[in-house]
Structure 1
């Protein structure tokens, strides 16, 4: 297929600031202009001229990329004039298949018309321009890949009259469908260990997780139970909530690194999803004094709308909430309370629906009262969560066992947590493993033989197979070199209740972490920092 027109040339730029994302989800009350979106006067300066626009593009072409199989993306559209309208007007959007041929000829592509079954307009196809108004509220178009084969598709929507090709009144939604790219190694299904990973995009590309390869084999003998890549839930960070002093809004701050990653999702995120992983954003505090524990109801609704817009726009699998680094107690900021966070959890679940994951990291005071429905304003927090897990993984401490259901309150962990109301023990990860640097060589910190974990498993107190790991790393020439990968495998060995070898039996399983791929550079040589960010 000859394609001179670069369908993806604005994918990196289409992720606008979080304020823009908030604008196209909550535009009834907050009109947001995109940069470069000023409407030129078509003729004389005194004339009034209008255009059909989208926040996802600075022009009239909105480009999308999806993988064949299942999935969808949501984009927006609105109408804007150069001057206020004299009278109120209702504008009706329609799909004009006659525009496909002209678009293909102009851009040197061979798009086919997107089937009507693959698009819907959840808010309707009419736009209301009020008297004295210049811009309508934004509405959504939802484009699905269900049943489509690899190729290029076009959805031309227009306000122009029948037979007209006025591009100022038309939006061209282009969809490229590609075949799945699952990678070279099969993802372990999580049957004996279910892995939850965090990746800090300020340092690494998300593709780092593809090189986390484990082998499980008989401790006595050569039989391999399985060998493959691991990581069932991937939480990308850093994304934060911040306070906007001018508007008083709680703003979703993606940051420059996450903005780049999402804008290049076809490279950094979709290959992970195509192997069977769930890729989520981890949200935390931004140091402004506003966090999950001191939001008003209006701020919660606004913030959740911003989050939902990002999840839908980039077809992410869900959200992880980790209330840390908020900077509570700053002058001029509201005091924390025990109902704000539960309200946020409930509102987030209702907005995302049951198809998306909503997980929570238990950490310090923000989650301390989640067992008490009276303190949470009657909200049973666990009813709205898919999973929760411990957030205690300091590099200066031994591995912590946080088991809210443990019968002995004086067990090894320095931290305690009562069970989250409504959350079954099978959905709570009790151990979050730090990846220790080489400099931390004392026995208490490295915990080469964490006997309390073994006792916990032997006594059949382990409620599930969830294994959580702190921010993943690659092989760097620093204090982590040649130490953390051994610890990684040993922690997996301790958590597997089939590993009778370390429990005293001569028969059982052991784990080997294969770090070869972390240093195998594209040139065929080995080196350091393979998956450090490349932008």
Structure 2
């Protein structure tokens, strides 16, 4: 199979542990792969090539959750490379034999979802009308059967002979109340504009909590957070030179990266290490060139060694006023960021915009516009929640060179049970979106297993400000369920014994 016609689904298994009857050929790069449905290179003038596409995300294999109480549904359409001169009709069928061929080609052991358990709207009939290149979407539904394996593969194809890649696959996950699905989809549903970032304090929480938070749209699950910052390494003073220090908790997480970091990455998350001040009078703002070189080396070494996706620089508690500390140099921090970018060109650099360390970043320092060297920035003021640096009178100023879409103007430190406060902040977020403010990133700080809101449906993750406010106005419709029921989604969870949520070391 041509690799250019494949997509890798990297969000299926945590640490390559099989879920029920799912068996992989191996771990690492031997993940499940599907034909993506790319159109073949032709070079043939006058020929029209056809392809069956997934309506939700054209050309990608989808994950369907099949529950006892409601059928799983999906949709597809047929597309041609050029407009047709007359109406053409195609019929889509379920072809169980494709699954066996797929298993042989990819070393997997999926069972086929049965054809008699699949209902195709209009018996699978599709029409491309004259002058058009694609048919109208057609729906299908899958019937729950208790005897089915927990994971099956639905294979659809165009029945009539047609050139091109005309097969489409859906991974079907059976979910019951007794055995909830452990497969968490990738973050971000079609049409989602706002990126969500989660900060996890390893003093209290396992980073794995990030994979459990979900959104639901049209009865389909999507991961909530795309970026995860794990707190925190600190900068200590080693005879006047910066030294990267790891406390017991963050050291445990890093040295057990296969358990705590790789699963997040397999589920599509980007994981960054947060680095903060160590209270010893040395930090990002008072380094000389040698100190910058030392720290950049340590950060890059850590990222490479533990397979991290980048660094979150959060300069707090450096205690620059401590006796004997080097004086603050306004060019130190920008030079560090620039050097770090040059040392890690393919990695993320996320900046926490709080306090004096970043206050002067609205103008170039030493000729360096910080915004040109970072991927994202966010404010971290617990009491304010919503801060728009581009608004008049704002607590923060815009970071020079940074696009507003890369700034986390909403920072939410859970919990906040004051309903009036929550409503006020939601209104601020909504107003900022309507005014064209920076709504490309929202950040949650989650550092305690008790920070779960209790209601009649169980203990739900409370993020009404971020989800409702930031998503409002994106024309996504009213069918987004932002509540996340931990009792249903995380096996072994209850309020008194947090289980998978709190740290397990």
| 1:212 to 2:213 alignment | yes
For residues 255 and 432 of structure 1, what CA distance do their matches in structure 2 show?
25
CA distance in structure 1 between the partners assigned to 2:465 and 2:389 by the alignment: 24
- The answer to whether 1:532 aligns with 2:502 is yes
Aligned to 1:469: 444
- State the match for 1:186 in structure 2: 185
Query: What is the root-mean-square deviation of aligned Cα atoms in Å?
Result: 3.0
| Alignment of 1:425 onto 2:404 | yes
2:283 is aligned with 1:291? yes
User: Scaled by the length of structure 1, what TM-score is found?
Assistant: 0.56
Cα deviation per residue 1:76-134 (whole Å; 9 max; x = unaligned)? xxxxxxxxxxxxxxxxxxxxxxxxxxxxxxxxxxxxxxxxxxxxxxxxxxxxxxxxxxx
Q: Tell me the residue number matched to 1:403.
A: 388
Distance 2:337 2:262 in 1: 26
Kindly indicate whether residue 442 of structure 2 is the aligned counterpart of residue 457 of structure 1.
no
What is the rounded CA distance, in whole Å, between the counterparts of 1:307 and 1:463 in structure 2?
Answer: 29
| 1:519/1:529 contact within 8 Å kept | no
Aligned partner of 1:274 among 260, 263, 266? 266
1:332 to 324, 328, 341: 324
CA distance in 2, matches of 1:423, 1:443: 33
What is the CA–CA distance in structure 2 between the aligned matches of 1:241 and 1:525, rounded to whole Å? 37
Q: Secondary structure at the match of 1:423?
A: coil
C-alpha displacement of 1:312: 0.7
User: Is 1:488 aligned to residue 463 of structure 2?
Assistant: yes
Aligned to 1:39: none
- How far off its partner does 1:214 sit? 2.1
Shift of 1:387: 1.2
CA distance in 2, matches of 1:511, 1:327: 44
SS for the counterpart of 1:454 is: helix
Q: Is the 8 A contact 1:465 1:496 kept in 2?
A: no
What is the SS of the residue equivalent to 1:429? strand
Over residues 351-383 of structure 1, what are the superposed CA-to-partner deviations in whole Å (9 max), with x where a residue is unaligned? 112x1111111111111111211xx11112111
Per the alignment, in what secondary structure is the counterpart of residue 487 of structure 1? coil
Pick closer, same or farther for the CA change 1:188–1:498 going to 2, 3 Å: farther
CA distance in 2, matches of 1:432, 1:518: 27
1:404, CA displacement in angstroms?
A: 2.0
- Separation (CA, whole Å) in 2 of partners of 1:326 and 1:189: 36
- SS of 1:482's partner is strand
Q: How many residues align?
A: 328
What CA distance in whole angstroms lies between the structure 2 residues aligned with 1:69 and 1:382? 38
C-alpha separation between the residues in 2 aligned to 1:528 and 1:349? 42
Report how far residue 276 of structure 1 moved.
1.1
Q: CA deviation at 1:284?
A: 0.8
Do the aligned partners of 1:499 and 1:508 also contact (CA within 8 Å) in 2? no
- The one-character-per-residue Cα deviations of 1:314-341 (angstroms, maximum 9, x if unpaired) are 1110001111111120111112121110
Aligned-residue offset at 1:495? 1.0
Q: Secondary structure at the match of 1:533?
A: coil
Q: Does the Cα contact within 8 Å between 2:273 and 2:311 map onto a contact in 1?
A: yes
Report the CA distance between 1:243 and its aligned residue: 0.6
1:357 aligns with 2:383: no
State whether residues 335 and 368 of structure 2, in contact with CA within 8 Å, keep that contact through their aligned partners in structure 1.
yes
Q: Check 1:237–1:449 CA distance in 2 against 1; reply closer, same or farther (3 A cut).
A: closer
Contact 2:433 2:439 in 1 (8 A): no
Alignment of 1:53-452 (within 5 A): 67-68=28-29, 184-189=183-188, 191-216=192-217, 223-224=218-219, 226-244=220-238, 247-353=239-345, 355-373=346-364, 376-392=365-381, 394=382, 397=383, 399-406=384-391, 409-410=392-393, 415-438=394-417, 441=418, 443-444=420-421, 446-447=422-423, 450-452=426-428
Q: Counterpart of 2:15?
A: none
In the superposition, relative to structure 1, how do residues 66 and 342 fare at CA in structure 2: closer, same or farther (>3 Å)?
Answer: farther
In the alignment, structure 2 segments of 5+ residues that lack a partner are 1-25, 32-106, 109-180
The Cα shift of 1:499 comes to: 6.3
String of CA shifts for 1:283-330, please: whole Å, max 9, x gaps.
111111111111111111011111111111111100011111111201
The answer on whether the counterparts of 2:426 and 2:464 sit within 8 Å (CA) in structure 1 is: no
In the alignment, what sits opposite 1:54? none
